[in-house]
Structure 1
Amino acid sequence: MKQVIKGAFVLVLIVASGGVPASEASPYAGQETQELKALSESDVEGLLAGQGMGYAKTAELNGYPGPLHVLELAEELDLSEEQQAETQEIFNQMQALAKSLGAELVAAERQLDELFRNKSVDESTLSELTIKIGRVEAQLREVHLHAHLRQAQLLSARQSAKYMALRGYGRGIHEHRHQHHHDGES
Structure 2
Amino acid sequence: MKDILFTAIVLLAMPVSAFAQDHGHNHGGTPYAGFEAREIKSLSDQDIAELRRGGGWGLALPAELNGLPGPAHLLELQEELALSSGQVAAITELFEEMRVEAIAAGERFISAEAAVSAAFEDAEVSQEELARLLDTAAEARAALRLVHLSRHLSTPALLSDEQVRRYSILRGYSDDPCAKVPEGHDPIMWRRHNGCDG
Which bracket does the TM-score occupy, shorter chain normalised? 0.7 to 0.9
Alpha-carbon distance between aligned partners in 2 of 1:34 and 1:125, rounded to the nearest angstrom: 22
Which of the residues 123, 143, 154 maps onto 2:147?
Answer: 143
Which residue of structure 1 lines up, in the alignment, with residue 51 of structure 2? Answer: 47
Question: How many matched pairs?
Answer: 151
Q: What are the residue-to-residue correspondences of 1:1-186 with 2, within 5 Å?
A: 24-171=28-175
The one-letter amino acid paired with 1:50 is G
TM-score (norm 2): 0.72
Alpha-carbon distance between aligned partners in 1 of 2:164 and 2:54, rounded to the nearest angstrom: 24
For residue 75 of structure 1, give the secondary structure of its aligned residue in structure 2.
coil
RMSD: 1.8
Which residue of structure 1 lines up, in the alignment, with residue 10 of structure 2? Answer: none
CA drift of 1:53 comes to 0.6
Moved more, 111-120 or 52-61: 111-120
Runs of 4+ off more than 3 Å = none
CA drift of 1:46 comes to 0.8
Alpha-carbon distance between aligned partners in 1 of 2:32 and 2:116, rounded to the nearest angstrom: 18
CA drift of 1:96 comes to 0.8
CA drift of 1:35 comes to 1.1
Alpha-carbon distance between aligned partners in 1 of 2:129 and 2:48, rounded to the nearest angstrom: 22
Which residue of structure 1 lines up, in the alignment, with residue 6 of structure 2? Answer: none
Superposed CA offset, 1:136-163 (max 9, x none): 1111111111111101221110011111
2:112/2:133 contact within 8 Å kept: yes
2:112/2:140 contact within 8 Å kept: no
The percent identity for this pair of structures is 41
The one-letter amino acid paired with 2:167 is Y
Superposed CA offset, 1:31-80 (max 9, x none): 11111111111111111111101101111111111101111111221112
Structure 2, unaligned stretches of length 5 or more?
A: 1-26, 177-194
Alpha-carbon distance between aligned partners in 2 of 1:118 and 1:106, rounded to the nearest angstrom: 20
Superposed CA offset, 1:71-93 (max 9, x none): 11112211122111110111011
Alpha-carbon distance between aligned partners in 2 of 1:110 and 1:29, rounded to the nearest angstrom: 19
TM-score (norm 1): 0.76
For residue 108 of structure 1, give the secondary structure of its aligned residue in structure 2.
helix
Which residue of structure 1 lines up, in the alignment, with residue 14 of structure 2? Answer: none
The one-letter amino acid paired with 1:35 is E
Greater share of residues in helix:
1
